[in-house]
């Protein structure tokens, strides 16, 4: 059992009471040097051992900091275009607006995308009411195709989809029968796609609502707000 006087001179007592960060190591070494000069032979032996451990620990911390990529670098490691290719998705040309509006508006770092529908590659739309003419699965596919069309409009606006830092908000509108209530499962078609393409950056806030009708009797119409990084 150590008396209180000797406890106060042992550096390891202080080490056990707090976490030592790399920036604190020089000050801690200075403290150890002062203790080392004024301590008993046994304490100096312990001090030397502790200093050796600190230097070994600090070297390990510095190497780990250099070798470990940051979370943002890990997230952005995969090219979005490569990911689309892996998913077998080829983005179409962005369809032009059908009335007096634009496909996208940029304000600050946010891109507000106008509503898009399930326009297929052959130029036809998926039409009908989910719950009457279409199943939930068919509605889900319509929402996924709509998501692809939104990505096409987004790429036209910003040039490089790797600039996307977050899919912020989605508004999904389902052309639904009056008794249909599973709107979220339909809009999952888009939400799942965004996570597949962007990973955690694709997770978003969302609203899924039913509509009595949609333009051209399309199955879904979806809007999206996206945050991008500076050029």
The DSSP 8-state label assigned to residue 160 in this structure reads: -
The pLDDT assigned to 29 comes to 53
Section 105-112 average pLDDT: 98
* pLDDT of 2 strictly over 50: no
* pLDDT of 19 strictly over 70: no
Q: What is the spatial distance between Cα 74 and Cα 79, in angstroms, rounded to a whole number? A: 11
* pLDDT of 83 strictly over 50: yes
The pLDDT assigned to 163 comes to 97
* pLDDT of 17 strictly over 50: no
Q: What is the spatial distance between Cα 187 and Cα 141, in angstroms, rounded to a whole number? A: 9
Q: What is the spatial distance between Cα 158 and Cα 160, in angstroms, rounded to a whole number? A: 6
Looking at 38-42, 44-48, 64-68, 79-83, which range is the least confident one?
A: 64-68
Report which of 100, 101, 134 is spatially closest to residue 118, judged by C-alpha positions.
134
The pLDDT assigned to 23 comes to 54
Tokens 């806030």 label which residue?
A: 205
Q: What is the CATH number of domain 78-228?
A: 3.30.1330.40
Percent of the chain with pLDDT over 70: 67
The pLDDT assigned to 219 comes to 98
Instruction: Tell me the pLDDT band of 78, cut-offs 50, 70 and 90.
Output: confident
Q: What is the spatial distance between Cα 43 and Cα 35, in angstroms, rounded to a whole number? A: 9
- Whole-prediction pTM: 0.68
- Indicate the domain borders of the chain: 4-67, 78-228
Contacts for 204 with CB less than 8 Å, ≥ 6 apart: 166, 167, 168, 169, 170, 191, 194, 224
* pLDDT of 59 strictly over 60: no
Residue 63 in tokens: 């190497």
Helix (H) or strand (E) holding 192: helix 183-198
* pLDDT of 94 strictly over 60: yes
Looking at 50-59, 82-91, 130-139, 153-162, which range is the least confident one?
A: 50-59
Section 95-106 average pLDDT: 95
* pLDDT of 202 strictly over 80: yes
- CB distance 143 to 186 below 8 Å: yes
Q: How many CB atoms lie within 10 A of CB 39?
A: 18
- CB distance 25 to 54 below 8 Å: yes
Section 21-32 average pLDDT: 52
* pLDDT of 9 strictly over 90: no
């Amino acid at each position: 059992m150590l008396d209180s006087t000797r406890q106060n001179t042992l550096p390891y007592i202080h080490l056990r009471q707090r976490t030592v960060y790399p920036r604190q190591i020089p000050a801690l070494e200075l403290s150890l040097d002062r203790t080392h000069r004024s301590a008993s032979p046994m304490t100096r032996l312990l001090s030397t051992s502790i200093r050796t451990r600190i230097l070994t620990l600090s070297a390990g911390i510095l190497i780990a900091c250099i070798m470990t990529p940051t979370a943002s670098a890990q997230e952005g490691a995969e090219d979005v275009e490569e990911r689309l290719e892996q998913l077998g998705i080829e983005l179409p040309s962005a369809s032009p607006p059908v009335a007096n509006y634009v496909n996208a508006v940029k304000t600050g770092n946010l891109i507000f995308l106008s509503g898009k529908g399930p326009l297929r590659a052959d130029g036809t739309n998926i039409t009908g009411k989910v719950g009457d003419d279409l199943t939930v699965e068919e509605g889900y596919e319509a929402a996924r195709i709509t998501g692809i069309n939104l990505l096409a409009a987004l790429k036209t606006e910003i040039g490089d989809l790797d600039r996307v830092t977050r899919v912020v908000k989605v508004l999904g509108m389902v052309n639904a029968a009056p008794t249909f209530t599973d709107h979220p499962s339909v809009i999952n078609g888009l939400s799942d796609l965004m996570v597949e393409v962007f990973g955690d950056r694709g997770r978003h806030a969302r609203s899924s609502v039913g509509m009595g009708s949609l333009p051209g009797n399309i199955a879904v119409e979806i809007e999206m707000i996206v945050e991008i990084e500076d050029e």
